[in-house]
Amino acid sequence: MKFERYGMGIAKGMALTLKHLFRPPLTVQYPNEKLVRSKRIRGNELVWFPDRCTGCGTCTKACLQGNIILVTHHGEENKFIVDKFELDSGRCIFCGLCVESCPYDALAMGLEYECAKYRRGDTILDKEKLKLSDKHQPSAYFRPQFYAQLPEQSLLIYDRKEGGQKLTLFPLSKRKRGPGA
């Protein structure tokens, strides 16, 4: 293969890489800096609201993994009382069909995404673990009522001056170095 001026194409490419050298970085230092996730994120660990759940079992029918276990008995005024509501987050594929199908907004996807466990048994979530708590917050996937309380997502499309790439910064004293930081 013959070229008129050998090396011109490589020089053009190198000029572009040189230009990139002076651009601000887009990456963040992950364990210490975190980008804000989407409001609709389908994170790990679902959130279950026991006061809204009527035990109708629509979520168990919608689950394609057959992952949600629901046991009820009849209470006063012929209402269902939920004895057991359990799912295995290790078998869950986080498709969100259960949240989508719930007619009483009793189930929501979680916000968490760092949910690695040491033991396989820890992935099973029972009634207590699924309840709302400080560390266990619902996302706005199919639940628009939570939109207002969640922070804006950081988008790479906007650069930092335009309000994109919002970071959750940890205070310097809490930052760790090394594996598992």
Partner 1 sequence: MPIKTEPFYLNLGPQHPSTHGVFRLRVQLDGEVIVDVEPIIGYLHRGIEKLAETRTYTQVIPLTDRLDYVASMTNNLAYCLAVEKLAGIKVPERAEYLRIIFSELMRLANHFLAIGAFLNDCGALATPLIYMWREREKIVDLCEMTCGQRLLFNYMRVGGMSQDVPVEFMPALKKFVAEMPKFIGEYEQLIKQNEIFLARTKGVGILPREMAIDIGASGPVLRASGVNWDIRKKDPYSIYDRFDFEVPTGDVGDCYDRFWVRMREMRQSVRILEQAIGQIPAKGTVWADVPQFFRPPAGEAYGHIEAPKGNLGFYVVGDGSIAPYRVHIFPPSLMNVTALRDMAIGWKVADLIIIFGSIDVVLGEIDR
| Interface residue list for partner 1 (CB under 8 A) | 1, 3, 6-10, 12-13, 15-17, 20, 26, 37-42, 58, 61-62, 64, 93-97, 100-101, 109, 139, 141-142, 152-153, 155-158
Q: How far is the CB of 53 from partner 1 (least distance, A)?
A: 18
Q: How far is the CB of 153 from partner 1 (least distance, A)?
A: 6
* Burial annotation 152-169 (CB, 10 A radius, 16+ → b, else e): eebeeeeeeeeebbbeee
Structural tokens at position 101: 């199908």
Which lies closer to partner 1 via its Cβ, residue 7 or residue 178?
Answer: 7
Q: How far is the CB of 172 from partner 1 (least distance, A)?
A: 27
Q: Give the pairing of strands 33-35 and 167-169.
A: antiparallel
Which lies closer to partner 1 via its Cβ, residue 13 or residue 50?
Answer: 13
Task: Tell me which residue of 81, 156, 146 sits closest to 111, measured CA to CA.
Answer: 146
Which lies closer to partner 1 via its Cβ, residue 72 or residue 101?
Answer: 101
Q: How far is the CB of 83 from partner 1 (least distance, A)?
A: 25
Which lies closer to partner 1 via its Cβ, residue 116 or residue 156?
Answer: 156
Q: How far is the CB of 149 from partner 1 (least distance, A)?
A: 15
Which lies closer to partner 1 via its Cβ, residue 157 or residue 181?
Answer: 157
Q: Give the pairing of strands 124-125 and 80-88.
A: antiparallel
CA distance 60 to 44: 18
CA distance 37 to 78: 42
Structural tokens at position 124: 């099973």
